[in-house]
Each structure stands twice: as structure tokens, then as C-alpha cells.
Amino acid sequence: MADASGGGRAVVHLDRTESMRLLAGAAVGRIVFTRNALPAIRPVNHLVEDGAVVLRTRFTTQLTTAMGGSSPVVVAYEADDIDAVRRVGWSVVVVGFARPVTDPGRVARYESLLQSWVDGEQATVVSIEPEIVTGMRLVERGC
């Protein structure tokens, strides 16, 4: 398919290592979880550490209710960097098990590393262990 400038785009599929590297460099992503049997999506900032995606959230009741307290729950996490004008960029989706981080030392560490973008308490630290990692890069054809 050609864009308005007459050039085409191609999708390049990324391996897990490159996908996680890109995700680690993203400032914000979106967590997708089930709320009242329907999908819910919330933007959050995150970090990638030891292969896990770690985030803080104020959606404690929504996400931890979905987790059943301390039980893991399947979630998706997505981040991207797309240039809407040039129509190039990348997108990464992680699907895995989310668990609340309960170790006080780890919670304190992540609270210091993950500064909230909004006022209000970010009451829960969540770690997502990726089971499925998919990534794609949208490039100008011929690149």
C-alpha cells in the first residue's frame, strides 16, 4: 500500500531480544487486563528489569481484584513509538502473568525508580513475566 508521499511501507518482525530492548527504552505503555469480564486498558510508565516488565499503578482495586489478591493474572502490555507523519516506527506486545510485588525492599526500589506522571498514590507495584513477546517495525520499503 502506498502512502500519500508515494512510498510504501513494510513490516519487519522483531525477535524477543530486540523487542524487549525497544520496550525498555519506551517511556510509557498500556496495560491490558480483564475488568468485569471485559478488556480494560490503562496507560502507565514502566521499566524492564531481569526480563520482567515492572510498573506502578493507582488502579489497585481494578488490577489487584483481577489478580485475586496475590494470584497471577494474564495481562498484555504494549508500547510503541510511531511517527504518524512518516508512518514508521515500532510496536511491542508482551503477554504474560502479572503479579503484585510484595517484597518491601523491591517495592521501595521500584517506587524510587518509577515516578508517577500524575498526582496521587501509586499503591501497587506489579511485575509482568513475559510468556509471549511480539514486536514489529514499520519501515519505508527498501530499508
Give the model's pLDDT for residue 111.
Answer: 86
- Residue 129 clears pLDDT 70, i.e. is over it: yes
Which of these ranges, 22-36, 66-80, 96-110, has the smallest mean pLDDT? Answer: 66-80
Secondary structure (3-state) at 71: coil
Question: 110-139 burial by CB neighbour count: b if 16+ within 10 A, else e?
Answer: beeebeeeeeeebebbbbbebeebebbbbb
Nearest alpha carbon to residue 124 among 50, 57, 74, 79:
57
Q: What is the mean pLDDT of residues 20-46?
A: 91
In angstroms, the Cα distances linking 129 to 20, 31, 35, 63 are: 12, 13, 20, 15
DSSP-derived secondary structure letter, 112: H
Q: Regarding the domain with residue range 10-140, which homologous superfamily does it belong to in the CATH classification?
A: Electron Transport, Fmn-binding Protein; Chain A (2.30.110.10)
- Indicate the range of 10-19, 56-65, 97-106, 124-133 predicted with least confidence: 56-65
Model confidence at 121, pLDDT cuts 50, 70, 90, reads: low
Identity at 58, one-letter amino acid code: R
What are the C-alpha distances in Å from 11 to residues 1, 89, 90, 137?
Answer: 12, 10, 9, 6
Residues 63-69 have a mean pLDDT of 56
